[in-house]
Amino acid sequence: MNLTVTTPLGIIIDNENVFSLRAEDATGSFGILSGHADFTTVLGNSVISWCNESGEMSYCAVCKGLLTVTKGSQIFIATREAVAGSDLADLKNRVLAKYHLSDENEIKSRLLQERLHAEAIKNIQKYLHQEDRFDAST
């Protein structure tokens, strides 16, 4: 099978010698072998692993993404960030921790933005209410 992992910055992995692949989506871990049915799934922050035909394992940490299998032999992963490596423990500890921290910061930023938006709406309503009182008194 052929595995391609891409980010907005380029191709991280292009391997034509993949025997099997393991990945994880919201429903759990799953495997892909040659001849797999076509499908698409959303990946979370996780480490994908694959075995080549000689039994060697390889790994890649992905920061969310979309995995697509086509023609039973083409696996394509598009992700925001990816780090390939040969040490599974290092990828899990170092890279996934960074991705999770990034997610937490993104959530905090969104909450702050929502609070600022709500405060702006309150101020607009307050201003409009003052205008209504001014119009009524004239």
- 34 within domain boundaries: yes
Q: What is the pLDDT of residues 88-117, one digit of tens each?
A: 777 777 666 666 656 666 766 777 788 888
Number of domains in the chain: 1
- 66 within domain boundaries: yes
Instruction: Give the pLDDT of residue 115.
Output: 83
Q: pTM score, two decimals?
A: 0.67
Instruction: Give the pLDDT of residue 129.
Output: 79
Containing structural domain, residue 51: 2-91
Q: Measuring CA to CA, how many Å separate 130 from each of 25, 51, 57, 61, 125?
A: 52, 69, 68, 55, 9
Token representation of residue 116? 């600022």
Instruction: Give the pLDDT of residue 64.
Output: 86
Instruction: Give the pLDDT of residue 34.
Output: 92
Instruction: Give the pLDDT of residue 103.
Output: 60
**Which CATH number fits the domain that encloses residue 30?**
2.60.15.10
Instruction: Give the pLDDT of residue 126.
Output: 82
- 138 within domain boundaries: no
Q: Is 93 helix (H, G, I), strand (E, B) or coil?
A: helix
**Which residues does the chain have with pLDDT short of 50?**
none
